[in-house]
Structures are given as structure tokens and as C-alpha cells.
């Protein structure tokens, strides 16, 4: 998975009040800490969503789920 940083942090790393070269900018960006993120699997792409739009991944009773919903059990269809 790719590393993610905030847009503002990248801008600040390049324009810190000095005339940074492209190499300085790249070095400063590489030194930033990456955000702690995980990929999200939306319900419409999840293998636990059945043909009637119910989620079967959390056990019974099944819940009706929207296309843009998501949860921590989501797994992408193969």
C-alpha cells in the first residue's frame, strides 16, 4: 500500500521560508511521517454482500447495506 501524507504537510516541506531546490523538497517530503491509514472496501464491492443488498459478513440477523457503506469486516470480491 502507498504511503499517505497531508497535502499541507507536503507544501510546508517544500516552502519552509527558504528557496528550496527540488532535491531539498523531495528530501523534506521523504522525511515526513506517513499517515496511519487502511484501505476501505465499500459494501458494493464486498464479498459479504448478497444479491438482495444484505450483508452476511456479521452473522444473523443480516443487515441491509447501502452501496457506499463500509465496515471493518469488508473484503473485496475476487
Q: What is the pTM of this model?
A: 0.56
Instruction: Please check whether residue 64 is in contact with residue 34, taking contact to mean a CB–CB distance below 8 angstroms.
Output: no
Domain that holds residue 53: 41-70
Helix 22-30 × helix 7-14 angle, to 10°: 140
Residues 27 and 50 in one domain: no
Task: Count how many domains the chain has.
Answer: 2
- Per residue in 19-77, pLDDT (tens digit) is 678 888 888 888 888 888 878 999 999 999 999 999 999 889 999 999 999 988 899 99
Per-residue pLDDT at 7 exceeds 60: yes
Residues 27 and 7 in one domain: yes
Label residue 22 exposed, middle or buried (CB < 10 Å: 0-12, 13-18, 19+): exposed
In a domain, residue 28? The reply is yes
Euclidean distance between CA atoms 15 and 52, whole angstroms:
52
Residues 32 and 5 in one domain: yes
**Which residues, in sequence order, are bridge partners of residue 64?**
54
Amino acid at each position: 500500500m502507498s504511503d499517505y501524507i497531508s497535502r499541507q504537510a507536503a507544501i510546508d516541506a517544500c516552502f519552509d521560508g527558504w528557496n528550496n531546490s527540488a532535491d531539498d523538497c523531495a528530501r523534506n517530503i521523504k522525511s515526513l511521517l506517513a499517515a496511519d491509514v487502511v484501505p476501505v472496501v465499500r459494501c458494493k464491492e464486498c464479498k459479504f454482500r448478497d444479491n438482495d443488498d444484505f450483508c452476511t459478513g456479521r452473522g444473523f440477523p443480516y443487515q441491509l447495506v447501502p452501496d457506499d457503506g463500509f465496515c471493518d469486516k469488508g473484503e473485496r470480491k475476487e
